[in-house]
Amino acid sequence: MGLGPTGSSVVTSRQYYLLFGFAQVNEVDPQRMAEGLTSYSIETEFGFVDLLLLPILLPFTGTSRTVTVRT
């Protein structure tokens, strides 16, 4: 967003879903994670920790993803 990341700050959060992504359990707000800045980048990925959580969440048809905001 804006000009992209201008500093070296990184904030990471995890977002959870049920029914294999159909229903969102918690909301991750990248604008709130960027602390009101106007220039930042957002990355969403299925990371290593998400892979480790998969056997725990799978019986509940749950998944997770990692959201990273660089400011």
Task: Give the pair of three-digit tokens for residue 44.
Answer: 């969403």
> pLDDT: is 4 or 56 the higher one?
56
Supply the pLDDT for residue 3: 67
DSSP 21: G
Element counts in the chain: helices (H) and strands (E): 2, 4
Supply the pLDDT for residue 17: 93
Query: Tens digit of pLDDT for each residue in 28-69?
Result: 888 888 887 777 888 899 989 999 999 999 888 999 999 988
Task: Give the pair of three-digit tokens for residue 67.
Answer: 């959201």
Supply the pLDDT for residue 9: 83
- CA contacts within 13 A on the Cβ side of 53: 17
> Cα–Cα distance between 21 and 16 in angstroms, integer?
8
**Is residue 41 within 8 Å of 5, Cβ to Cβ?**
yes
Supply the pLDDT for residue 14: 93
